[in-house]
Structure 1
Amino acid sequence: MQNWYHIIPKNTGLSSYIWIIFYLLPFFFIFKTSSILEILLGILLVAGFFLSYRRSFQSKSHLFYFWVSIDILISLALTLVFGYVYFSLFLAFIIGNINHRGGFLSYYIVHLVTTIAATALLFFLKEESLFPQLPFIIITIIGVILLPFTIRYRNKQHELEDELEDANERISQLMVIEERERIARDLHDTLGQKLSLIGLKSDLAGKLIHVKPESAINEIHDIRQTARTALKEVREMVSNMSRAKLEDELIRVRQIIQAKEMEFQLEGDPSLANTPLLVENVLSMCLKEAVTNIVKHSEATWCRVMIKQSPTEVLIKVEDNGIGIKEKKESFHGRGLQGMRERLDFVNGSLEIVSLQGTTLNIRVPNVNQQSEKEDPV
């Protein structure tokens, strides 16, 4: 509930000055009476109403319902004795703030029935004196009927808005986490391939340095160039400017395969037509990860890459004659292949792994652009 000093009802459509009038108005009804005892009784009832009204904002659970019940009894007493029915609007407001559905309905029905019954009895006893107030009393009864539901609806709306704001903040945090994971995967794939190439060329240069010094020098130059290329790609990736082309990636794939002293075969056209740059980037990163796994884990002697583009999909098949995934289960569940699946899921693609004699990876991505062009003329 609100703090005790926030006892002017908010979000009711009425100005605070009108509520102040409702606070002061009962004294006008009280001082109309000629009996000192009645005046004292009226002042005590008003003071008791405000005291219990304040306590209801401070209390929780059963004490809250206790103080609201006291307010209902005092409001009925003021209505029957002094003809002041307007405290029922304060009760309608506080009942509308009850979150528990059962408690809300119970107190709403009790308050509505008692207010209408007391007002009807008051008209029966003091019809002539209440006739000038009839429009205001009717407005009060309408407020008792509608105000609790209005307050409850607005509270629910504010709760939903707060939940939506929290959800949007959570989505923003998840987007940041997802972007960090994407950058981590890209760094892993890019640096993994380049460092593997540097390691292989370093081993090769070590073998050739005494046998073929000139070839060893060339390998060292290649190592330096590969390191510069890796640094450049990392900088571009961090600045979100890295967009790998499949043709460029195949050049690096050929280099790393040949550095491993494996045979490399390419079938198909790497220049994809009508393929979004994002999709081509995903395919390039997946091809890079697949070849890196072959170089690190397969112990194969050859690697074949087949690229096939049809009106419905782009297929990249990567094959090797290595030991297969069954003997290297950690590579199947490793971060590399998991990163490939996540990237392909983002563009509605799929990854199929066949491991019999060697390993075959089928990387498929639907050719969305060609499908849409085919459907548009119809």
Structure 2
Amino acid sequence: MGKFQQRFRQTTGLSPYIWMFLSILPFYFIFQTPAVLEGVSGVLLVLGFFLSYVLSFSSKGWMIYVGLGIQLGISTIMGILFGYVYFYLLIAYFVGQLAKKPAFITFYSILIPLKVITSYYAFITFEILQIQLPFLLLSTIAVILLPVNTYSKLKEEKLEDELAFANQKIADLIKLEERERISRDLHDTLGQKLSMIGIKSDLAGKLIMKDHHKAEAEIKEVQQTARTALKELRELVADMRRSKLKEEMERVTQLLDAAGIGLTVSGERELPENLARIDHVVSMCVKEAVTNIVKHSQASECRISIATHDEKLIIRIEDDGKGMPMEKFRYGGGISGIKERLQFINGTLEIVSEQGTALTMTIPIVQLNQEGGNGHDETAYR
């Protein structure tokens, strides 16, 4: 049954229960007339309406507008002949599904006058509608509001999808840029020295039988070059693994700017020398928090404050996004990572998510200076 309902919604845009109700209701109005010919024509009109609705909902291009025009014509005829004006509700939903703004405005401008005029005529002509005045008024209000609400919701969903795609592209570009930077650093660091090692090794091989002393000198140079290259490689890897808050703030500024999110920073972007040993952990926490804002918050502004108070380093990261239920923060991978990192430096994390989300990281400075961060070097976490 679940698969049938899903398929039905994809074909008609409506729940099968709503469809069944709106399919049965017009026959109540049709059977009020004693004339057989009018009754048969009413049944044919109902069948024609639903057939055109399904076909236009599953069509593309100009056929959609042809089907919508047929539905408007049948609805108007049903209202004039039988006093049935509730087909306009289906059309209102359909109009809200139109992706192109000119088409939406055009059909919305046609739908509302037709609904109001037909409803007024049916009200003064058919006694049954005079009894149903509250439902008639509610249906008119629904026809006015439903297209706008549906159209706005679809636009919002489309923008959210585009934002998610853009954020993914930004993340991919950041990864690509980082790979290119690493490849450049490796080339600059190792390329020249490996080439020198190759040349010196070839020369030593040629001199080994001719001049033993020169060959030995070349081999020593090869050994020294290899040691230098290894030292530089270790420094390069260590530098890659250990980021600083100042550098991370530059990267998150670029990330937020690319995502169209404004950034306001208060306080010093660079930690003092006495906090150098926690610099990497703090920068990773800031990076994770900002990444979550870009991916999930739908925010337009982000505020980061960095301050020391009562021998504590306090970093607060806020956004004006949609916020999240607190239950999701308990199991989110990014938040768990921030908490685990802060534990290594005796830090705590406080989260408030109401109108937007605010993360407050508090790290005790005195305890870190005296005890060295819970007895752990922060490099152990990595």
TM range (shorter): 0.5 to 0.7
- Once the two structures are TM-superposed, the CA of residue 179 in structure 1 deviates from its matched residue by 2.0
Contact kept, 8 Å, 1:9 with 1:90, in 2: the verdict is: no
C-alpha spacing 1:242/1:104, structure 2 compared with 1 (3 Å): closer
Rounded to whole Å, the distance in 1 between the matches of 2:48 and 2:137 is: 26
Rounded to whole Å, the distance in 2 between the matches of 1:163 and 1:203 is: 57
Q: Which residue of 1 aligns with 2:22?
A: 22
Rounded to whole Å, the distance in 2 between the matches of 1:57 and 1:4 is: 11
Q: Which residue of 2 aligns with 1:93?
A: 93
Rounded to whole Å, the distance in 2 between the matches of 1:4 and 1:56 is: 14
What's the secondary structure of 2:62's corresponding residue? helix
Asked which structure has the greater RCO (Cα within 8 Å, sep 6+), the reply is 1
- Once the two structures are TM-superposed, the CA of residue 185 in structure 1 deviates from its matched residue by 0.3
- Once the two structures are TM-superposed, the CA of residue 193 in structure 1 deviates from its matched residue by 3.6
| TM-score in terms of structure 2 length | 0.55
CA displacement, residues 87-115 of structure 1 (integer Å, 9 cap, x when unaligned)? 10111111112222222111111111011
Q: Which residues of 2 match residues 180-191 of structure 1 at below 5 A?
A: 180-191=179-190
Rounded to whole Å, the distance in 2 between the matches of 1:122 and 1:206 is: 105
Rounded to whole Å, the distance in 1 between the matches of 2:34 and 2:183 is: 85
What's the secondary structure of 2:132's corresponding residue? helix
What's the secondary structure of 1:165's corresponding residue? helix
| TM-score in terms of structure 1 length | 0.55
- Once the two structures are TM-superposed, the CA of residue 173 in structure 1 deviates from its matched residue by 2.0
Contact kept, 8 Å, 1:205 with 1:216, in 2: the verdict is: yes
Q: What amino acid sits opposite 1:32 in the alignment?
A: Q
- Once the two structures are TM-superposed, the CA of residue 59 in structure 1 deviates from its matched residue by 2.9
- Once the two structures are TM-superposed, the CA of residue 240 in structure 1 deviates from its matched residue by 7.5
Q: Which residues of 2 match residues 161-180 of structure 1 at below 5 A?
A: 161-180=160-179
Q: Which residues of 2 match residues 175-214 of structure 1 at below 5 A?
A: 175-195=174-194, 197-198=196-197
Q: Which residue of 2 aligns with 1:62?
A: 62
Q: Which residue of 2 aligns with 1:138?
A: 137
Rounded to whole Å, the distance in 1 between the matches of 2:124 and 2:78 is: 16
Contact kept, 8 Å, 2:12 with 2:53, in 1: the verdict is: no
Contact kept, 8 Å, 2:11 with 2:58, in 1: the verdict is: no
C-alpha spacing 1:146/1:214, structure 2 compared with 1 (3 Å): same
C-alpha spacing 1:133/1:206, structure 2 compared with 1 (3 Å): same
Is the aligned partner of 1:221 residue 2:225?
A: no
Contact kept, 8 Å, 2:31 with 2:39, in 1: the verdict is: yes
C-alpha spacing 1:151/1:172, structure 2 compared with 1 (3 Å): same
Contact kept, 8 Å, 2:204 with 2:216, in 1: the verdict is: yes
The structure with the largest alpha-carbon Rg is 1
Rounded to whole Å, the distance in 1 between the matches of 2:185 and 2:205 is: 30
Rounded to whole Å, the distance in 2 between the matches of 1:206 and 1:7 is: 77
- Once the two structures are TM-superposed, the CA of residue 242 in structure 1 deviates from its matched residue by 6.2
What's the secondary structure of 1:84's corresponding residue? coil
Contact kept, 8 Å, 2:204 with 2:215, in 1: the verdict is: yes
Contact kept, 8 Å, 2:85 with 2:119, in 1: the verdict is: yes
Equivalenced residue count is 244
Rounded to whole Å, the distance in 2 between the matches of 1:145 and 1:203 is: 85
Rounded to whole Å, the distance in 1 between the matches of 2:231 and 2:19 is: 69
Rounded to whole Å, the distance in 1 between the matches of 2:100 and 2:241 is: 55
C-alpha spacing 1:63/1:16, structure 2 compared with 1 (3 Å): closer
Is the aligned partner of 1:6 residue 2:5?
A: no
Identity fraction in percent: 46
Rounded to whole Å, the distance in 1 between the matches of 2:93 and 2:230 is: 66
Q: Which residue of 2 aligns with 1:108?
A: 108
Rounded to whole Å, the distance in 1 between the matches of 2:234 and 2:107 is: 66
Q: Unaligned regions of 5+ residues in structure 1, if any?
A: 245-272, 278-378
Contact kept, 8 Å, 2:112 with 2:143, in 1: the verdict is: yes
